[in-house]
Amino acid sequence: MPTFAIKPDKPIPVAVLGATGAVGQRFVQLLDGHPWFQPVALAGSERAIGQTYAQACRWLLPTPMPAWAAEMIVVPHDPEAIEARIAFSALPASAAFELEPAFARSGFAVCSNASAFRNAADVPLVLPEVNPDHTSLIETQRRQRGWKGFIVTNPNCTLTGLTIVLKALLDRFGVERLLVVSMQAVSGAGYPGIASLDILGNVIPFIDGEEDKIESEPRKILGSLQEGTIQPANLQISAHANRVPVLDGHLVCLSVQLSQEARLEDVAQALSSFQAPSISRHLPSAPETPIRLMEKPDRPQPRLDLMSGNGMTTVVGRLRPDPLLGWKMAILSHNTIRGAAGASIYNAELLVQQGYIA
Ligand SMILES: NC(=O)c1ccc[n+]([C@@H]2O[C@H](COP(=O)([O-])OP(=O)(O)OC[C@H]3O[C@@H](n4cnc5c(N)ncnc54)[C@H](OP(=O)(O)O)[C@@H]3O)[C@@H](O)[C@H]2O)c1
């Protein structure tokens, strides 16, 4: 295994699909000055096509829109008309169902945030810190579907930090079952997303489809590859999903039953010493510390701790015994960076490192 990242010889041309939305904008921000990837196309909906990106996009991020992006003309989602190697998808699932296979068929490496193909048996659902080996499903996918390219997905934003924490616990102690309560930021609903009159001064105890994803996706990601298929991890998960009036950052309260007795210092050590597998550790988007453990009793907080590791670190706090399941803690991760655009870019870097993208 390499102890440093093998850089591509020259910049790899990339496109962003759904570039005007909340996640599309994060892609544009994170790809600005990326050492390996060169954005050559920003694709948008009918409404945006033919306008400059500056005209078509209501930019929501606190850093300025990169000048190269502002001047680009938004193009249709037409794989035959885009000359790029990677398509970063920030499309809604309904559009992704149709468009992502068209890009994969044409030879693109599609790195997707959409839920459309996450559960497909031949589509890898990848977190580089957890299951970089699952990308070998690409071979099955290409064989079965006859595509020149492929689709690799990253998980739902709410369970990204949760699953990294579960991996650290699973490796050291085993995990039996868990109860998860999420407090999810409004940017998780995209732009314009949820109406301000619905969410200001309020909490909404329902997010369509979210609890199912939290209860199923970690089982696939933490599952094992056996003869070209994933055997899901044997975990029982119960989830409650809530939308709260926070701009960015999903906070998750976790109660978890481990398979073995453990001491507080051992659980803390398992979390804070967790490292990504060596192939994922030195990639440009890899956080230096995958899990940051905080000891102050009132942390982590989205406003204070969200940008740890440039938004790629999972921040854990309030680790303490739980009378019901054994242990409990609070987990914070950035939904549009670690949970979305940053996750796809990190996956693409892994795919370059593994030789799937040349
Ligand atoms: N927001 C998050 O925190 C987050 C985290 C993880 C995963 N995701 C997933 O990432 C994807 C994007 O989410 P988002 O929050 O960025 O949503 P969003 O703000 O609604 O953006 C969606 C983008 O897709 C375009 N689009 C919509 N319908 C289209 C169609 N039929 N054909 C072509 N383009 C279309 C939109 O264009 P217009 O600008 O013209 O509407 C926009 O560029 C979704 O699948 C979401 O579930 C989101």
Q: pLDDT digits over 252-273, tens only?
A: 999 999 999 999 999 999 999 9
Percentage of the chain with pLDDT > 70? 99
**Across the chain, what does the average pLDDT equal?**
97
Give me ligand 1 centre to Cα 252, in Å.
Answer: 23
In this predicted model, what pLDDT tens digit does every residue of 96-116 receive, in sequence order?
999 999 999 999 999 999 999
- Ligand 1 pocket, residue 157 CB under 6 Å: yes
Amino acid letter at 276?
A
Does residue 243 lie within any of the structural domains?
yes
- Crossing angle (nearest 10°) for helices 158-173 and 264-272: 120
Closest residue by Cα to atom 47, ligand 1, is 114
For a pocket test of ligand 1, which of 61, 113, 156 has the largest count of ligand atoms closer than 8 A to its C-beta? Answer: 113
In this predicted model, what pLDDT tens digit does every residue of 232-258 receive, in sequence order?
999 999 999 999 999 999 999 999 999
Q: Indicate if 120 and 165 belong to the same structural domain.
A: no
Asked if residue 136 has pLDDT above 80, the reply is yes
Q: Indicate if 316 and 344 belong to the same structural domain.
A: no
User: For the domain that residue 271 is a member of, what is the CATH number?
Assistant: 3.30.360.10
Catalytic (active site) residue 253: no
Does residue 358 lie within any of the structural domains?
no
Per DSSP bridges, beta strands 291-293 and 314-322 are parallel
Does residue 4 lie within any of the structural domains?
no
- Ligand 1 pocket, residue 90 CB under 6 Å: yes
Range of 31's domain? 12-156+340-353
Q: Tell me the pLDDT band of 5, cut-offs 50, 70 and 90.
A: confident
Which whole number is the average pLDDT over 184-189?
Answer: 98
Q: Indicate if 277 and 321 belong to the same structural domain.
A: yes
Confidence (pLDDT) at 3: 56
Q: Indicate if 270 and 135 belong to the same structural domain.
A: no
In this prediction the pTM is: 0.98
Q: Indicate if 78 and 226 belong to the same structural domain.
A: no
**How many domains does the structure of the chain reveal?**
2
Closest residue by Cα to atom 15, ligand 1, is 190
Residue 348's nearest CA partner among 334, 335, 358 is 358
Task: Name the CA radius of gyration of the chain, rounded.
Answer: 20
Question: Which residue among the candidates 111, 134, 157, 334 is catalytic per the annotation?
Answer: 157
Does residue 1 lie within any of the structural domains?
no
Q: Indicate if 209 and 325 belong to the same structural domain.
A: yes
In this predicted model, what pLDDT tens digit does every residue of 296-351 receive, in sequence order?
999 999 999 999 999 999 999 999 999 999 999 999 999 999 999 999 999 999 99
Closest residue by Cα to atom 12, ligand 1, is 90
Helices (H), the chain: 22-31, 53-56, 67-71, 93-105, 137-145, 158-173, 196-199, 210-221, 264-272, 278-281, 302-305, 342-353
Q: Indicate if 152 and 277 belong to the same structural domain.
A: no
Asked if residue 29 has pLDDT above 80, the reply is yes
Q: Indicate if 182 and 78 belong to the same structural domain.
A: no
> Tokens 């459309």, residue?
116
Q: Indicate if 190 and 99 belong to the same structural domain.
A: no
Catalytic (active site) residue 34: no
82, 58 Cβ separation under 8 angstroms: no
Give me ligand 1 centre to Cα 338, in Å.
Answer: 16
Confidence (pLDDT) at 4: 64
Confidence (pLDDT) at 1: 44
Asked if residue 2 has pLDDT above 80, the reply is no
Which whole number is the average pLDDT over 120-133?
Answer: 98
Give me ligand 1 centre to Cα 21, in Å.
Answer: 5
- Ligand 1 pocket, residue 191 CB under 6 Å: yes
Does residue 208 lie within any of the structural domains?
yes
Does residue 278 lie within any of the structural domains?
yes
Q: Indicate if 58 and 137 belong to the same structural domain.
A: yes
User: For the domain that residue 135 is a member of, what is the CATH number?
Assistant: 3.40.50.720
Token pair of 270 as six digits: 């398992």
Which whole number is the average pLDDT over 276-291?
Answer: 97
Asked if residue 173 has pLDDT above 90, the reply is yes
Does residue 106 lie within any of the structural domains?
yes
Does residue 284 lie within any of the structural domains?
yes
Q: Indicate if 241 and 228 belong to the same structural domain.
A: yes
Q: Indicate if 72 and 167 belong to the same structural domain.
A: no
Distance set, CA 200 to CA 204, 243, 246 (Å): 10, 11, 9
- Ligand 1 pocket, residue 74 CB under 6 Å: no
